[in-house]
Structure 1
Amino acid sequence: MNPEKLHFIVIDDSKLDCFIAEKIIQNTGRNESINTFQLVTDALNYIKGLSNHNGKTIVFVDIQMPVMNGFDFVESFEQLPLDAKSHYVIYMLSSSINENDIAKVRGYSSVKQFLNKPLTGKTMATVLEDN
């Protein structure tokens, strides 16, 4: 049986981190689609614009970004209707292991887990096992 293909969204202000994440996701062979965004607002508009969403989407969002950060994204995402949110699994990424950030991440019902940056093949394998 072939594993289910998944949709992926990467939100990170770093072009390099978006590129690395995209390559790691592609190497899994599990991607139906990959969309990268450097601005939270662009990602939110994209998600809001998907009315006939099929399948599950894994979202990787960086915590530290200018203008709107990862927490701003999650707070806006959690305002979406339940049927829209039910297709998404959110993982928050950060290069700094800040206990306050980790504790804050646990407070969001729509965030599955906190992950260290950069995204690696090993981390991706763990994410795919959970989904």
Structure 2
Amino acid sequence: MKPLTTILLIDDDETTNYLNHRLLSRMNIAEEIRVVTNGEEALEYLQKAFAGSVEYPMPDLIFVDIKMSVMDGFEFLDEYQKFDEDDKNQTVMMMLTSSASFYDLERLKKYPEVRKHYSKPLAEADVREILAENF
């Protein structure tokens, strides 16, 4: 499999970002891994990426945390749904969570863009599964 161009990690937890970045880098599955720390930063990044900015490469894969300060994962998803379908179809979105409550998992069902949820931090088996099923 050819490496993905860009992965976007959206999480406000430094330790999780470090661990996920390290794992993804070690597995050498993407040319670039970008990190933003809340939903607002992610929306700004994606607006520029969808507009074709060279400095903001289109992510092939997005991991978004549910619980974040400033703008949480669900607020981000509400805004993300407003993007053009053609743009959204260029990316694969996964939800990350440290506490998969029944309420959160039920709420996720109203966001078809989210393919699946995973516990934080990512494990190598999770990444292999994501690649096999989506790329």
Normalising by structure 2, report the TM-score: 0.88
Which letter maps to 2:11? D
The aligned counterpart of 1:35 is 34
Identity among equivalent pairs (%): 26
The aligned counterpart of 2:52 is 52
The aligned counterpart of 1:10 is 9
Q: Which consecutive segments of 4 or more residues in structure 1 shift more than 6 A?
A: none
The 1-side partners of 2:62 and 2:105 are apart by 17
* Structure 1 position 103 matched with structure 2 position 106: yes
Query: SS state of the match for residue 76, structure 1?
Result: helix
What CA RMSD, in Å, does the superposition of the two structures yield over aligned residues? Answer: 1.6
The aligned counterpart of 2:121 is 118
Which ranges in structure 2 are unaligned for 5 or more consecutive residues? Answer: none
Which ranges in structure 1 are unaligned for 5 or more consecutive residues? Answer: none
Shift of 1:55: 7.0
**Residue 24 of structure 1 contacts residue 121 of structure 1 at CA under 8 Å; is this kept in 2?**
yes
The aligned counterpart of 1:90 is 93
* Range 55-64 or range 20-29, more displaced: 55-64
Shift of 1:89: 1.0
**Residue 24 of structure 1 contacts residue 124 of structure 1 at CA under 8 Å; is this kept in 2?**
no
CA distance 1:4–1:56, change in 2 (3 Å)? farther
